[in-house]
DNA sequence: CGTCGATTTGAACAGTCTCAAAGGATGTGG
DNA sequence: CCACATCCTTTGAGACTGTTCAAATCGACG
């Protein structure tokens, strides 16, 4: 039990837990070979737990560790000086946190827990040493970075070209899809507490308009998004509304 | 001289040219160690040239090669089925092209030459072999992916939170900055042909409103953006208008 | 029961869009 | 060297999507 000087969060020594990593049984993820898993376990320093709503990392923070999401959902947000806030993306189990900050010095965004969440903690320098020894790890790292980039690309398309309804449908489809891939929404319902204010900050809409759009989608039977869960009664119709063309299915996602 | 079956573009055998790589003298870039440069030169298959306006890769294409920008400026764009178009980002010398497509199968976006441009061509599989042997290359790859992600993050903030004037100022500052870093705008003026229609598609604005906003910024003496060049008379004021908080200076950018 | 966060509703307002058309540039062919 | 075509920019005016301000309602919780 030690106090992480970067963030004040609790870190437990829990290296042994890799053997029963909850992500090992997750169908949506590509499992690392045993040898790599052993290496990763050896380099893992512990876990950090956060409750819903807690700030995990502040914007501008200098990270001395790398993190991955072990359980739960988080979001990364960017704050402008005048108080405007943009939610960049949500993070699901298996996602990497802090890569850009580790390479570059400062976090360009803050991270906040959307649900209660657990992170795995790795020492930054030792992690990169391991990546140099294990091409597969390095490859997975690149894979994740490239796919996060693709997700942001999709978000840019939403913000730039889609109207409020399309945006919201696209976001709901995206989140539920990721929830299903990571085992959080086995039945197609993603139990996750997101306020309308947060949806607004993600989609670049006002709170009022977000509320009205949400109601419209619910009335149309496309997306049923409450404070505590996202449900998509008619996935095909929702995808049409969102103008999502690609199939969305891609190679299985690796994790660290 | 061979014809690339993927794109029909011309490929010359020009491996020897790495010795006089034009990027080697670029101040904004971090130079690879000699040993790595030699390896890269050995793996390089040739060059591909494009004229302004030419489509480099179509959306949905399956790439069998990896590419980097040797000279010129390109953009990547995403097309929706109903004709709406979103420009995701611009690409400058040293940038990587096709990483996501190489890992994932299909290009999620198209690539188009904004100025006449030259690309370096690498065989995908041999490239990843090399990356496994050369941790530094792998590290640089990750660095580039993480920073492209940071650039998209900034763009998301623009689209989600900034109004038309702020967006346009932010884009102009970003482009001129990148131009200066890559030696394309030594005097702070970036000579690059971008139509107002392209600006509109990048910022998610209509053509008409783009025109009016452009005029307003010009009248205010903040940004002078013509068809053939971007000039920022008052950089500090432009940054204030754009609400760019961070210093923007980061570690030197590696290139391949 | 009172408080606090979240949602909902109404109404006026503003930023941006669409439609329409005119006005420059630039290049090509005759 | 002119005439025409094409692409880009500019301007006007009305319509609409989404914003802002304000206030009421709802629900969970102590």
Write out pLDDT tens, residues A167-186: 999 999 999 999 999 999 98
From the list B197, B251, B188, the residue with the least C-alpha distance to B223 is: B188
Mean pLDDT of B143-156: 94
Whether residue B126 is predicted with pLDDT greater than 70 in this model: the reply is yes
Extract the tokens encoding A246: 């690609």
For residue B203, give how far its alpha carbon lies from the nearest alpha carbon of chain A (Å). 6
Record: contact B152-A153, CB cut-off 8 A: yes
From the list B18, B23, B90, B6, the residue with the least C-alpha distance to B47 is: B18
Whether residue A245 is predicted with pLDDT greater than 90 in this model: the reply is no
Whether residue A3 is predicted with pLDDT greater than 50 in this model: the reply is no
Q: What's the rounded Cα separation, in Å, for the pair A66 and A97?
A: 6
pLDDT grade for A2, boundaries at 50, 70 and 90: very low
Whether residue A211 is predicted with pLDDT greater than 80 in this model: the reply is yes
A239-242: Cβ within 8 A, 24+ apart: A239/A169, A239/A173, A241/A165, A241/A166, A241/A169, A241/A217, A242/A162, A242/A166, A242/A167, A242/A169, A242/A170, A242/A173
Contacts of B174 (CB under 8 A, 6+ apart): B151, B154
pLDDT grade for B127, boundaries at 50, 70 and 90: confident
Q: Mean pLDDT over all residues of chain B?
A: 89
Backbone angles phi, psi at B101, to 5 degrees: -65, -35
From the list B156, B157, B176, the residue with the least C-alpha distance to B243 is: B157
Contacts of B252 in chain A (CB under 8 A): none
Which of A149, A164, A254 to probe by mutation at the B interface, max B CB count within 10 Å?
Answer: A149
For residue B211, give how far its alpha carbon lies from the nearest alpha carbon of chain A (Å). 17
How large is the angle between the packed helices B164-181 and B135-161, nearest 10 degrees? 160
At B1 the pLDDT is 33
pLDDT grade for A64, boundaries at 50, 70 and 90: confident
Domains recognised in chain A with CATH numbers: 2-149 (2.60.120.10), 151-254 (1.10.10.10)
pLDDT grade for B247, boundaries at 50, 70 and 90: low
- Look-up of token digits 């790795």: A122
Residues 162-181 of B with CB under 7 A from strand C: 163-165
Nucleotide nearest to B210 (CA to C1'): C16
Contacts of A210 (CB under 8 A, 6+ apart): A164, A168, A196, A197, A199, A200, A203
Q: Mean pLDDT over all residues of chain A?
A: 89
Which of B90, B151, B153 to probe by mutation at the A interface, max A CB count within 10 Å?
Answer: B153
- The per-residue DSSP string of chain A comes to -EE-TTT--EEE--GGGGGG-GGGG-TTEEPPPHHHHHHHHHHEEEEEEE-TT-EEE-TTPBPSEEEEEEES-EEEEEE-TTS-EEEEEEE-TT-EESHHHHHHSB-SSEEEESS-EEEEEEEHHHHHHHHHH-HHHHHHHHHHHHHHHHHHHHHHHHHHH--HHHHHHHHHHHHHHHHHHTTS-TTSEE-----HHHHHHHHT--HHHHHHHHHHHHHTTS-EE-SS-EE-S-HHHHHHHHT--S----SPEE--
Whether residue B2 is predicted with pLDDT greater than 90 in this model: the reply is no
Mean pLDDT of B133-157: 92
> SS3 string of B189-219?
EECCCCCHHHHHHHHCCCHHHHHHHHHHHHH
Q: What's the rounded Cα separation, in Å, for the pair B199 and B170?
A: 12
At B96 the pLDDT is 94
Q: Select the highest-mean-pLDDT range: A12-21, A209-218, B34-43.
A: A209-218
At B25 the pLDDT is 85
- Please name the residue ranges forming H helices in B94-206: 99-104, 124-133, 135-161, 164-181, 196-203
Record: contact B156-A161, CB cut-off 8 A: no
From the list B226, B243, B227, B87, the residue with the least C-alpha distance to B173 is: B243
């Amino acid at each position: 039990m030690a106090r992480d000087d970067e963030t004040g969060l609790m870190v437990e020594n829990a290296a042994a837990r890799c053997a029963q990593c909850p992500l090992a049984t997750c169908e949506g993820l590509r499992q690392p070979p045993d040898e790599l898993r052993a290496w990763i376990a050896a380099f893992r320093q512990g876990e950090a737990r956060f409750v819903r709503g807690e700030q995990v990392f502040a914007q501008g923070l200098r990270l001395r560790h790398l993190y991955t999401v072990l359980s739960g959902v988080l979001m990364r947000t960017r704050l402008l000086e005048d108080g405007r806030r943009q939610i960049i993306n949500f993070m699901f189990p298996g996602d990497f946190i802090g890569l850009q900050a580790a390479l570059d010095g400062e976090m360009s965004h803050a991270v906040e827990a959307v649900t209660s969440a657990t992170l795995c903690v790795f020492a930054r320098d030792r992690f990169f040493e391991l990546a140099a020894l294990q091409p597969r790890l390095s490859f997975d790292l690149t894979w994740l970075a490239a796919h996060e980039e693709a997700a942001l690309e999709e978000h840019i398309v939403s913000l730039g070209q889609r109207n409020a309804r399309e945006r919201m449908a696209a976001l709901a489809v995206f989140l539920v899809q990721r929830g299903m891939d990571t085992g959080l929404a086995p039945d197609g319902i993603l139990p996750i507490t997101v306020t309308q204010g947060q949806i607004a900050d993600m989609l670049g809409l006002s709170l009022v308009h977000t509320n009205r759009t949400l109601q419209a989608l619910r009335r149309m039977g496309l997306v049923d998004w409450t404070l505590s869960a996202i449900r998509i009664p008619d996935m095909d119709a929702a995808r049409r509304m969102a103008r999502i063309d690609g199939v969305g299915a891609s190679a299985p996602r690796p994790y660290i």
